[in-house]
Amino acid sequence: MDGRIRVGAVNYLNTKPLIEGLTTLAPEIELSLDLPSRLADRLADGDLDVGLIPVVEYFRAGRYTLIPDVSIASRGPVLSVTLFSRVPWAEIQSVALDVGSRTSAALAQILLRTKYGTRPQVQSLPIDIPADDIATDAVLLIGDRAMRACLPGFAFAYDLGQEWTDWTGLPFVYAVWAVRDGVDLGRAEGAFARAKEYGLARAGAIAAREAPHLGLDPGYCRRYMTNIIHYDLGPRELAGLEQYYAFARDLGLAPEGVSVVRYHRPDLVQSR
């Protein structure tokens, strides 16, 4: 490494509080923005040192550590992960899954197969294809795309954050800061937690800046970041993370034998 720490994050509204002051707090961080699924690929390829990646990719890789105390999670409705459906859950025979997030795509399959006992045909929904053009019974949208969507042709709109918490009683964790093995964050290690506090203290300013680009009300954006999304990774979030992994592993969506491991400096890493 040349002293730079290459960090990738998602360019969604729910990410803004985590990156608002990140490069100011740690100037050695070089930040780039991308889709969550692409971030996971770049981290796996060594193109990033740290990525805010879908949690299912953390488990699929099985060789990362995570930054403590920071995540993107919900404790009920999340508003930005929605399964629009023409029929009730138990009657869904085909579903199109937004390619933007693999965690939410796996969550939709967990709910369909494990909770509701259905095995629908699954296809991908590319980013550039309008959801209204899809002929499947249901379509999963995530992020800002889901927040703007109405889809009047679909009778049902299921919030997957709400569905998860109603079912398990636990928060749902969508993304974590994952650190590639062997990376030494040095003085930047504490910047991720400090950036969370810095960004949340400026949620009103972030909302006023971002809302016009999203076509959303600034007050709605502020409430979304401060009341709907939770950025901590405490004991309840970790319990939700472990439960999600257990379901994903049982369905073959994640490999066996992966643990949640906090980041340590490489010279302090213990055997996994």
- What's the pLDDT at 267? 66
- What's the pLDDT at 271? 41
Average pLDDT, integer, range 254-271? 80
Q: 64-97 pLDDT, tens per residue?
A: 999 999 999 999 999 989 999 999 999 999 999 9
Superfamily name with CATH number, domain 5-73+172-251: Periplasmic binding protein-like II (3.40.190.10)
Average pLDDT, integer, range 255-264? 93
Q: 130-174 pLDDT, tens per residue?
A: 877 788 999 999 877 788 888 888 999 999 999 999 999 999 999
- With CA atoms as reference, report the closest residue to 56 among 23, 84, 97, 87: 97
Q: In the β-sheet with 229-230, what is the strand arrangement from edge to edge? A: 29-34, 5-10, 50-54, 172-179, 65-74, 229-230
- With CA atoms as reference, report the closest residue to 200 among 225, 219, 179, 223: 225
Identify the CATH assignment for 81-168 out of 3.40.190.10, 3.20.20.80, 3.30.1360.100, 3.40.50.10490: 3.40.190.10
User: Cα Rg for the chain, rounded, in angstroms?
Assistant: 18
Q: 91-120 pLDDT, tens per residue?
A: 999 999 987 778 999 999 999 999 999 999
pTM: 0.91
Average pLDDT, integer, range 41-57? 94
- What's the pLDDT at 80? 87
Average pLDDT, integer, range 48-63? 94
φ, ψ at 120 (rounded to 5°): -70, 160
Among the listed ranges 147-156, 206-215, 259-268, which one has the minimum average pLDDT value? Answer: 259-268
Indicate the domain borders of the chain. 5-73+172-251, 81-168
